[in-house]
Structure 1
Amino acid sequence: MELTDSVKNLLIETAKQLKGAARRRFMALTVKDLGFGGQSRANKELGWDRDTVRKGVRELETGITCVDNYKGRGRKKSEDNLPELLVDIQSIVDSQSQTDPTFKSNRLYTRLSGEEVRKQLIIQKNYTEEELPTTETIRRKLNHLGYYPQKVKKSQPQKKIPETDEIFERMEAINQEALLSPTTLEISMDGKAAVNIGPFSRKGKTRVPTYACDHDFNSNSKVIPYGIFLPQSDDLFLYFIESKVTSDCIVDILEQWWQEFGSMFGECKTLLIKPDNGPENHSRRTQFMNRIVEFVETYKINVRLAYYPPYHSKYNPVERTWAVLENHWNGTIFEDIQTALQWAETMTWKSNNPVVKLVNKTYQTGVKLTSKAMEKLETKLTRFINIEPENQYNLGKWFVDIFYNAP
């Protein structure tokens, strides 16, 4: 039997008009008329399912007709009974939805629950309680339409600011100047996260079975490690602070360190200080800059402040020492502050132990200068100005010089 295009269309359309056993019988009779290989031809040329055709052939040959259980197929979809349902759901949730903030998918996220959407369908679209599907079905329809509930996430910090590359170029130039100058001493300063004092686990390991509290309740005592690191000599000085780390606290630590160890650097005329760009010691922090100017005038030494760009504090040399300290003491339980100090003293950096001090002075937060006082202080600061035409950003807040002017 030759299957022309007109014959094919006739067979296909006829099969579509029939249902169940009648359709299978029609397919089986057609396949028999096609002769040998009829099932294969029907599948390739007519698009008929082979399993359906075989079932029809068996029914034709045995005379036993299978009864189709249409009710067993389940109910029709809600949108078949309510053609406008999906459109109405979209119109309700669109005003409450947002796209995937990562732009990695085409998903939409909505804050409305399935129960609320069902309620709004009744209020806004005049559906009745009886004709609408259940809340669970509405929830599945929301997911099917692409609306997914999403956990609220913290915003992620940017990884780079426009000035980052130029800041690193300037930092490299300053480093080279410091290496070639015998009168410049480079020091790196930064603080570490607060350490709870008490019977708390630090998620470390120890060969001796040790047990900590099952819950990390609020600690009555904390210490904040603050480090001064000399990259040229690999000397490390650790100060443990019981109070808040404020501008006054940072400069007091610098003064204490210089009073005790400054005599070791007799030729030093300039301190190249690399602090982190935190809120208590950036170059626009009025009290910090005021104390640095006082430091310069008191000890008759120049200070150059060089800040790393945001989100790049890991390049600050002192940051390398914190991982060593944490690995050294993370299996220890600090029952008291003295235990923490003793463990810090036994840490080794480049085969040397750090100098460890305790700062138990209480510092007041929120100390700042008035606008007029800061304007006067700015006259004593020399902020870096780009002179190269290819550099387009102002790096004045990242690099500041304070020179001692002898009276």
Structure 2
Amino acid sequence: MELVPEVKELLIETEKTLKGHARRLFMARTVQALGEGGQCLAERELGWNRATIRKGQRELKRGIVCVDAFSSRGRKRSEEHLPNLLTDIIAIVDGQSQADPQFRTNRLYTRLTATEVRRQLIAQKGYSEDELPTAETIATKLNELGYYPKKVGKSQPQKKLPETDAIFAQVKQINEEADANEQILRISVDAKATVKVGPFARGGKSRIPTKAADHDFQPTATVTPVGILLPAFDEVFFYGVTSKVTSDCLADRLIDWWERARERFSQITTLVINLDNGPENHSRRTQFMQRLLEFVQQYHINICLAYYPPYHSKYNPVERCWGILEQHWNGSLLNSIDTVIQYARTMTWKGKHPTVELVTTTYQTGVKLTKEAMEAVETQLQRLPSLEKKP
């Protein structure tokens, strides 16, 4: 007996789409339908294994199923042998990663190579050389966790101060100590680029037909999102500010947030604030330092300012929220302030919606202390001795 080419091809292709018990039953029933000599024919014409056919025939005859342990086959993933591996990789890499400077993607870009991550796993986390996977595997794990080495537009800073690496190391140490202490709460604060309100194309895509203005004329209003992120809780607070963001504006947002949160965090004695070196909040901004000193005196809580190096603002954790927000509303027309606020409220960060408020207070620019007044404030500040002239 011979099989015509069309039937032979159909049987071979069908068998390849199946696996395990279903595959064996198909082979057994096919051989049964071929009649006497079916096993030899299937082996010769279709390339089927006789042992597999017989196993399927026994299952078909007795009505039992041989369980296929596919999950136990092959090499185990590294994290199955080392259950803390992924957590330890994140602990090493997260503080050395930045958001996409242009907010075109949610990816994070890390300063560390896979080889360096592997070295730090051995030095910091106590892994041995033999038990860790190769640098190539570590690179794969970094990609799976969302950390990429790709260089994008501004990923290379315009300048790098000699103190940059020392500042990064100091910020990393401060953040780790804060996250490990139940009496310290770490937050990340920053303002996003100002959003023009009007029928402007924002470069996004939409499945709903949307027509934007052909020219970017004068906006009807502007809104500057100010964000406060609690990294340990994956909670985000957004404030849509219609005025210019100043030192007083940022200080007021900190007060608004703390009034809302301080009962919940009654055990907290110190706030660690991650910041960039923006003109409104750097450590030599006299009005900003004065307002923070007033905050400390009013609420009887210590504040530690952990600044990221100049020209490295995208490493500030709250910056990652801006990429999500930008992609969330990019395909829509933000033609009113209310639309901006509603889109911010419907965004999700780590599965949670942010708390969003509109701030219409008008803030005066150019407010600063006299030299004598700032000298009095300086007596209440403690700067790092090795970086006293840098934020």
TM-score by length of 1: 0.57
Structure 1 residue 159 and structure 2 residue 164: aligned?
A: no
Q: CA deviation at 1:201?
A: 1.1
Q: What is the root-mean-square deviation in Å for CA atoms of aligned residues?
A: 1.3
Partner of 1:362: 362
Give the Cα separation in 2 of the matches to 1:303 and 1:171. Answer: 14
**Corresponding residue of 2:347:** 347
- The C-alpha deviation readout for 1:266-287, integer Å capped at 9, x for no partner, is 2111000012210110000000
List per-residue Cα deviations over 1:213-243 (Å, max 9, x = no partner).
Answer: 1101011300000100000011000000000
For 1:396 and 1:186, locate their aligned partners in 2 and report how far apart those are by CA, in whole Å: 24
- Give the distance between the partners of 2:388 and 2:380, measured in 1 at CA: 17
SS of the residue corresponding to residue 264 of structure 1 reads coil
**1:214 aligned residue:** 214
Match of 1:245 in 2: 245
Which ranges in structure 1 are unaligned for 5 or more consecutive residues? 1-155, 387-393, 399-407
Percent sequence identity over aligned pairs: 57
Q: Residue type of the partner of 1:326?
A: E
1:395, distance to aligned residue in structure 2 (A): 4.1
Amino acid at match of 2:273: I
Please give the alpha-carbon distance, in whole angstroms, between the structure 2 residues aligned to 1:181 and 1:159: 34
2:369 corresponds to 1:374: no
Q: Structure 1 residue runs of 4+, over 6 Å off?
A: none
Q: Distance in 2 between matches of 1:177 and 1:381?
A: 20
- Indicate the SS of the match to 2:186: strand
> 2:203 & 2:348 partners in 1: Cα distance?
21
AA at the equivalent of 1:351:
G
1:132-164 deviations in Å (ceiling 9; x for gaps): xxxxxxxxxxxxxxxxxxxxxxxx973311100
* 1:320 and 2:334 correspond: no
Contact 1:383 1:397 in 2 (8 A): no
Larger radius of gyration: 1
- C-alpha distance in structure 2 between counterparts of 1:173 and 1:288, whole Å: 24
Number of the residue aligned with 1:57: none
Q: Which runs of 5+ in 2 are unaligned?
A: 1-155
TM-superposed CA distance for 1:175, in Å, is 1.4
C-alpha change, 1:180 and 1:167, in structure 2 (3 Å) is same
Shift, 1:202, TM fit: 1.0
What count of residue pairs does the alignment treat as equivalent? 236
Cα distance in 1 for partners of 2:158, 2:351 equals 37
Q: Does 1:286 align with 2:261?
A: no
How far apart, in 2, do the equivalents of 1:280 and 1:191 lie?
Answer: 10
**What SS class does the counterpart of residue 382 from structure 1 fall into?**
coil
CA distance in 1: counterparts of 2:292 and 2:207, whole angstroms: 46
Aligned match of 2:300 = 300
1: CA distance between counterparts of 2:179 and 2:157? 34
AA in 1 matched with 2:202? R
Distance, in Å, in 1 between the alignment partners of 2:200 and 2:224 is 16
Q: 1:190 aligned to 2:207?
A: no
Deviation at residue 334 of structure 1 after TM alignment: 1.4
Q: Distance in 2 between matches of 1:368 and 1:157?
A: 29
**Is 1:180 matched with 2:180?**
yes
Q: How big is the shift at 1:172? A: 1.5
- Residue deviations 1:289-332 (CA, integer Å, cap 9, x gap): 00000000011110000100012111110011110001110011
SS of the equivalent of 1:263 reads coil
CA distance in 1, matches of 2:254, 2:245: 13
Instruction: Name the structure 2 match of 1:226.
Output: 226
| Deviations 1:83-102, CA, capped at 9 Å, x for gaps | xxxxxxxxxxxxxxxxxxxx
Give the aligned partner of residue 310 of structure 2. 310
Residue-by-residue CA offset, 1:376-398 (whole Å, 9 max, x unaligned) = 11000011113xxxxxxx34542
Please say if residues 276 and 312 of structure 2, whose CA atoms lie closer than 8 Å, have aligned partners that are also in contact.
no
- Tell me the secondary structure at the aligned position of residue 383 of structure 1: coil
TM-score (norm 2): 0.59
2:197 touches 2:334 (CA, 8 Å); kept in 1? yes
Contact between 1:284 and 1:397, CA under 8 Å: does it hold in 2?
A: no
**Would the aligned equivalents of 1:188 and 1:317 in 2 still touch at CA under 8 Å?**
yes
